[in-house]
Amino acid sequence: MSGNASGNHGNRTGWAGFWDRGGWWKAIAFVVVYLAVYLGVGWVIDKTAGDAIDFDDVFGDPLSVFLAVALPLIIGSIVLFAFAASVRWLPRPLFGRQPVTGRWWMWVAPALVVITFVLRLFGIDWAAYTGGVIATTFLAGLFVGIAEEVLTRGIVVTLLRRHGYREWAVAVLSSLVFALLHTTNLLSGQALVTVLGTIGFAFGFGMMMYLTLRVTGNLVWPIILHALTDPSTILATGGIDVAGSNQSPLLTFAGLSTFVFLIFALIAMIFIRGTANGRAAAGEPELHTTVPTV
């Protein structure tokens, strides 16, 4: 892969200038560092407050949910916003209007996510959880949405666009990075087959979030949809990235989203067009760009 970009933001020097020039390897390097910080925070919490976490049933107690799930994500979100502020990407370009407009068919993606959420909402066995667990799980879900969307549809997409990649590559690469984040489930002892299935679902869901970003025009909407998806999935299955034992017909239909998202993602890859021409937000000047090959 190779490419070159120059322009107002492309000419900045130092720390901000380094990241403004973007690149796929910078995206991967940043994600690896973030994961190390996130996992490190989790390790510290386990060592210092592990006695307060019920590892056999994390979602059986609000404090367990907060310490084991929410707190690492809260700290991770703070780290991401601190980085974005350090390179002057707040509020724009991360929360600026998208530099490439969406197409009508892209509305199918957020619609599919909302339908799946509604099915889970009515299929969850709410009586199986206390109010505190439900509230804390949705708090954790909020920070899942913030952290993972700012990381992948925010920072990673910005780095790819800044380097001049076409939107097809931006969509696929950012979704692939998002999917590979879930390989860390191997560290918690999950079976390889389960992790591979999660990666497949995550790629499809990542494409749904990219399409939502494009068609709504702002990162806020993928954050909201992601923040609703994860806690409803957790409460429906009783855990993170597990099959669960709730046999509700509504959850059976919701479970089909794994295949629906992936199929629609593969179809969408055929039709995604356009390039941001080095811009990460609307209104920025286009860069003189040699489009990198992938």
What's the predicted TM-score (pTM) here?
0.92
At position 21, the amino acid (one-letter code) is R
> What's the pLDDT at 285?
85
- Is-contact 230 141, C-beta < 8 A? yes
- The DSSP-derived string for 67-95 is IIIIHHHHHHHHHHHHHHHHTT-TTTTTT
Return d(Cα 17, Cα 86) in angstroms, integer. 11
Q: How many Cβ atoms from other residues are within 10 Å of residue 283's Cβ?
A: 10
- Is-contact 22 161, C-beta < 8 A? yes
- Is-contact 207 265, C-beta < 8 A? yes
Return d(Cα 89, Cα 80) in angstroms, integer. 11
Residues in the chain: 294
> What's the pLDDT at 8?
53
Q: Which residues contact 190 (CB under 8 A, 6 or more apart)?
A: 198, 241
Q: What are the angstrom distances between the C-alpha of 209 and each of 33, 38, 45, 225?
A: 23, 22, 30, 8
pLDDT in tens, 101-152: 999 999 999 999 999 999 999 999 999 999 999 999 999 999 999 999 999 9
| Percentage of the chain lying above the pLDDT 90 cut | 77
pLDDT tier for residue 288 given thresholds of 50, 70 and 90: low
Render the burial of 223-255: b for 16+ CB within 10 Å, e for the rest.
Answer: bbbbbbbbbbbbbbbbebbeeeebebebbeebb
Instruction: Indicate if the pLDDT at residue 231 is higher than 50.
Output: yes
pLDDT in tens, 4-52: 443 456 567 799 999 999 999 999 999 999 999 999 999 999 999 989 9
Positive or negative, the CA dihedral 93, 98, 100, 105 is: positive
Q: What are the angstrom distances between the C-alpha of 96 and each of 47, 147, 213, 214?
A: 40, 17, 11, 12
Instruction: Indicate if the pLDDT at residue 289 is higher than 70.
Output: no
> In this predicted model, which residue has the larger pLDDT, 26 or 292?
26
Burial class (CB in 10 A: 0-12, 13-18, 19+), 8: exposed
Return d(Cα 28, Cα 23) in angstroms, integer. 9
